[in-house]
Amino acid sequence: GAGVSQTPSNKVTEKGKYVELRCDPISGHTALYWYRQSLGQGPEFLIYFQGTGAADDSGLPNDRFFAVRPEGSVSTLKIQRTERGDSAVYLCASSIHGRGGTEAFFGQGTRLTVV
Amino acid sequence: AQTVTQSQPEMSVQEAETVTLSCTYDTSESDYYLFWYKQPPSRQMILVIRQEAYKQQNATENRFSVNFQKAAKSFSLKISDSQLGDAAMYFCAYRDVAGGTSYGKLTFGQGTILTVHP
């Protein structure tokens, strides 16, 4: 596609439920990032994929969060046993590679609300 | 760990005037990149301008320019001839180029909301 696509745009779930957030990066981009943005704050890094492998998952807050990118394109962020504190906008970005000043292109995010 | 600080939660400017948004950062690296991103209500982050730390010349993109002071670890954004469409949240961001597993990751500041008055 022309840009980074994230689905769903909005997701409301009940506390304790499992959710999956999907990211379709720009075709040919090997680097993919997930960020979490709480209301009124800057995005915080969660995980970085180079190809199929997670090169840096140091930002995942705990073991309820997991992300995959099995074929090196689409990525899914998975959150188990959701908590109200997980409510935020989850942003995905991709770039041609992860080095230097290459531009990271962002999707419009998924707004997750845990009630 | 690198940190980015934007000390102005909100700024406002009259249309056609000039405004400067401030950003400071902390790093022990000598080579890195700095970025300004714009986030309108649509939530999509849009790159405004980037600066390579080893370049002394300040980056410029049309009405947008930066004042990069490496020794002071300061990276401000100047918007000239402000337009209504410039109204958005602006984020300053830092990226390492030192290699390892952390390169690629962006560290963002808290953001500055810019209002443009007609």
B50, B97, B104 ranked by CB distance to A31: nearest: B104
Is the Cβ–Cβ distance between B109 and A41 less than 8 Å?
A: no
A31, A101, A108 ranked by CB distance to B44: nearest: A108
Among all residues of chain B, which has the CA nearest to that of A5?
B44
Cα–Cα distances in angstroms (integers) from residue B6 to residues A31, A63, B25, B31, B97, in the given order: 27, 31, 9, 21, 22
- Give the pLDDT confidence of A24-73 residue by residue, as tens digits: 999 999 999 999 999 999 999 999 999 999 988 999 999 999 999 999 99
Confidence of residue B104 (pLDDT cuts 50, 70, 90): confident
CA distance linking residue A42 with residue A51, whole number of Å: 26
Contacts of B44 in chain A (CB under 8 A): 106-109
Is the Cβ–Cβ distance between A15 and A115 less than 8 Å?
A: yes
A interface test, pick of B7, B44, B66 with most A CB neighbours within 10 Å: B44
The whole-number pLDDT of residue A103 equals 86
Answer yes or no: is pLDDT of B101 > 60.
no
Confidence of residue A7 (pLDDT cuts 50, 70, 90): very high
Q: What is the average per-residue pLDDT within B92-116?
A: 84
Tokens of residue A111, six digits = 């707004």
Residue A20: CB atoms within 10 Å: 15
